[in-house]
Amino acid sequence: MRLTSILGVAMLALAALGTPPAHAGRSCEEKKPAVETVVRGLRLAERTLHALDASGHKVVLLARAGQDLSRYGLRYSHLGFAYRQPDGHGGHVWRVLHKLNHCGSAESAMYRQGLAEFFLDDLWRFEAAWVAPAAPVQDKLYALLLDEPRALALHHKPYSIVSFAWGRKYQQSNQWAAETLAAAMTDGATRQRAQAWLQWQDFQPAMLRIGALTRLGGRVAAANVAFDDHPDAQRFTDRIETVTVESVFAWLGRSGLGGPVQVLRLDGT
């Protein structure tokens, strides 16, 4: 996909700004994007495109930094699968399959977007990061991503941005990605089976420290924040066990299921 193609996709996305917003890993504050923001997002998409093409991989787990999570020790906020989709003419385009929360609601939906749409956002930091799964994992994951029913099988609409990693009442975006990777490896079609495989593979969620006022205030103020799926022993001591980009990346490297983290930053970010 050339930059002109990316630009065309981005303009279509801009034209659709009147539709209900869907976000993950970023603020839900609605504001018209500045021209500079759009240009930098397109530049990040273009550089990511070239880097992914040069990598020779067909699937990576791609992350963006949509909001400032540094107080929780996190750099990235949102994860999706970027993969080569055949274009029917012997070439390919890069698509991103990811889960987005409908702002102002406690539900989510699945989206397949181009790289421009993925990065055409009010990003906190113009930075991309990705991990390429090991070759056998890529093969299984790629087959799943090209199979629409299988790719969407584990999507669970009820959404909390801090959903319990081993719970099934809610499902946040990074949790969906981890569970879907597990489904690809096990040919499983249930969240229970996917989570069992992740535990067997020693996946370790992040343990965030979130104070009582944040917990209570968040639950009242935002529909997409809930803590009632967490075990009482953790919740009442302000410990929230959830899936983060960093926890997925660290696990892939530790387990040998993926390679090192690759980072691409625009100058000045």
3-state SS record for 148-176: HHHHHCCCCCECCCCCCCCCCCCCCHHHH
Q: What pLDDT shows up at residue 72?
A: 86
Identity of the amino acid at 22: A
Cβ neighbours for 187, distance < 8 A, ≥ 6 positions apart: none
- The pLDDT-based confidence of 47 (bands split at 50, 70, 90) is very high
- The pLDDT-based confidence of 218 (bands split at 50, 70, 90) is low
Average pLDDT over residues 191-209: 96
Q: What pLDDT shows up at residue 177?
A: 98
pLDDT tens for residues 119-172? 986 788 999 999 999 999 999 999 999 999 999 999 999 999 999 999 999 999
User: 23 has which bridge partners?
Assistant: 101
Taking 80 as the threshold, does the pLDDT of residue 34 lie above it?
Answer: no
What percent of the chain has pLDDT above 90? 64
DSSP states of 179-231: HHHHHHHHT--SHHHHHHHHHHTT---EEEE--HHHHHHHHHH-TT---TTS-
- The pLDDT-based confidence of 71 (bands split at 50, 70, 90) is confident
Domain boundaries, the chain: 3-265
Q: What is the pTM of this model?
A: 0.87
Q: What pLDDT shows up at residue 167?
A: 97
Q: What pLDDT shows up at residue 32?
A: 66
Bigger pLDDT: 130 vs 227: 130
Most confident of 71-75, 199-203, 218-222: 199-203
Question: What distance in Å separates the CA atoms of residue 196 and residue 193, rounded to the nearest whole number?
Answer: 5
Taking 60 as the threshold, does the pLDDT of residue 24 lie above it?
Answer: no
Question: What distance in Å separates the CA atoms of residue 37 and residue 266, rounded to the nearest whole number?
Answer: 12
Mean of per-residue pLDDT scores for the chain? 86
Bigger pLDDT: 25 vs 71: 71
Taking 50 as the threshold, does the pLDDT of residue 11 lie above it?
Answer: no
Question: Of 21-30, 190-199, 207-216, which gets the smallest average pLDDT?
Answer: 21-30
